[in-house]
Structure 1
C-alpha cells in the first residue's frame, strides 16, 4: 500500500460515474426520466421541465431535494420512477472487485441515490458483495451531498473516523466537505464534471479510472 495512505481504514465510494465509467451513460437515462417526472408534475413541456430540473439540481444539490422543498413530492415515488432504467450499459468489472477486496479495512458506498437502485448497479458490476453497507438518500433524510451535515451523519452511522477515511467521488464539489472533516479525497475525473482552481485545496488524488488507481496504490510500498 502507498505509504501516504497507510493510515486509511475506511474506503468510501460514491456510486454513479465513480464505480462505473461515465461513458456508460447510465445517468443519462435517469436524467431523462427525472425531466419527464418534472414535466408531468408541473404540466410543462420538455424544455421547461429540463430547465426546472437543472435549476433544482444546482440550487438544492439534487432534483429530488428541490421537488420536496417546492412541491412536497413523495421521495419514494420519485426515486422509483427515476431509477426505472435498464442496466445493460454496465459490464461486470472483476478486476475492480478484486482491487476493492484487497483494500485493508472497511468498504462503504455513500450515494445520493437510493439503496435499491445501488444494489442493482453493484450486482451488474459484480460488486454485490464488495461493500459493508450503502448509505443512501433515505438515510440522510433527503439531504444530498455536498451538505456537510450528511458527512457527519455518515460517520456517526458507521462509527467512522474521518481521519482514517478516504472518499472517492466524480463530482469535485462533493469532496470538499469530506476534506473539511479530515478525509483523504480522490476525484474521478471522467468528464462528468469539471473542477475549478479552488478544488486543488480539497482534492488529494485525481484519476481517470478508479480501478487503475486502486491497483497503482496497491503496487507501491
Structure 2
C-alpha cells in the first residue's frame, strides 16, 4: 500500500457514479422519475418540473431536501418512487469486488440515496457483503452531503476516527467537509461538468477516473 495510506483503517465510499462508472448513466433513469414525481406533485409540464428539480438540487444539495422544505414531501414516498428503476445498466466489476475484499480495515457506504436502493445497487455490483455499514439519507435525518452535519453523524454512529479514514466521492464539493474533518480524499473524476464543480487540490488528495484501477493499484502495493 502507498506509504501515505498505511494509516487508513476505514474506507468510505459514495455509491452512485463512484462504485460504478458514471458512463452507465443510471441517474438518467432516476432523473426521469424525479421529473414525473414533480409533474404530478405540482401539476406542471416537464420543462417546469426540470427547472424546479435542478433548482432544488443546487440550492439544497438534493432535490428531495428542496421538496421537503417547500412542499412537505414525504421522503420515503419520494425515494420509493424515484428509485423504482431497472438496474440492468450496471454490472459487477471484478477489480472492485476483489480490491474491496483485500483492503484492510472497515468499509462503509455514505450515500444521499436510501438504504433500500443502495442495497439493490450493491447486490447488482457483487458488493452485497462488502461493507460493514451504510449511512443513507434517512440516517442523515434528511440533511444530505455536503452538509458537515451528515459527516459528523456518520463518524459518531460508526465510531470513525476521521484522520484514519479515506473518503471516495465523484462530486468534488462533497469532499470538502471530509477534508475539513481530516479525512484523506479521493475524487472519482467521471468527466461530468457537474461532478467537477468546486474541485480544488486543497481538498483532493487523489484523483482517478477509474476507481477499479485505483483500488487495484492500492491492494497491489499491499499484496504484490
Query: Which stretch shows the higher mean deviation, 191-200 or 17-26?
Result: 191-200
Separation in 2, partners of 1:4, 1:199: 20
Structure 1 position 198, deviation (Å): 5.6
Q: Tell whether the 8 Å contact from 1:2 to 1:218 is kept in structure 2 after alignment.
A: no
Q: Tell whether the 8 Å contact from 2:38 to 2:53 is kept in structure 1 after alignment.
A: yes
Q: 1:196 to 1:142 in 2, by over 3 A?
A: closer
Q: 1:129 to 1:173 in 2, by over 3 A?
A: same
The residue aligned with 2:134 is 134
The residue aligned with 2:191 is 191
Map 1:162-177 onto structure 2 (within 5 A).
162-177=162-177
Q: Tell whether the 8 Å contact from 1:167 to 1:186 is kept in structure 2 after alignment.
A: yes
Structure 1 position 195, deviation (Å): 2.8
Separation in 2, partners of 1:92, 1:133: 20
Q: Tell whether the 8 Å contact from 2:173 to 2:197 is kept in structure 1 after alignment.
A: no
Separation in 1, partners of 2:34, 2:41: 11
Structure 1 position 196, deviation (Å): 5.1
Separation in 2, partners of 1:41, 1:155: 35
Give the secondary structure class of the aligned counterpart of 2:182. Answer: coil
Residue 217 of structure 2 corresponds to residue 216 of structure 1: yes
Give the gaps of 5 or more residues in structure 2: none
Separation in 1, partners of 2:137, 2:19: 18
Residue-by-residue CA offset, 1:129-156 (whole Å, 9 max, x unaligned): 1001111000000010000011000000
Q: 1:65 to 1:196 in 2, by over 3 A?
A: closer
The residue aligned with 1:152 is 152
The residue aligned with 2:58 is 58
Give the gaps of 5 or more residues in structure 1: none
The residue aligned with 2:85 is 85
Query: Number of residue pairs matched?
Result: 221
Give the secondary structure class of the aligned counterpart of 1:220. Answer: helix
Separation in 2, partners of 1:103, 1:164: 14
The residue aligned with 1:94 is 94
Separation in 2, partners of 1:173, 1:103: 26
Map 1:6-85 onto structure 2 (within 5 A).
6-85=6-85
The residue aligned with 2:203 is 202
Q: 1:122 to 1:195 in 2, by over 3 A?
A: same
Separation in 1, partners of 2:164, 2:196: 25
Residue-by-residue CA offset, 1:50-89 (whole Å, 9 max, x unaligned): 0000000000000000000000000000000000000100
Structure 1 position 215, deviation (Å): 1.0
Q: Tell whether the 8 Å contact from 2:13 to 2:169 is kept in structure 1 after alignment.
A: yes
Give the secondary structure class of the aligned counterpart of 1:92. Answer: coil
Task: Give the structure-2-normalised TM-score.
Answer: 0.96
Task: Give the structure-1-normalised TM-score.
Answer: 0.97
Give the secondary structure class of the aligned counterpart of 1:127. Answer: coil
Structure 1 position 220, deviation (Å): 2.9
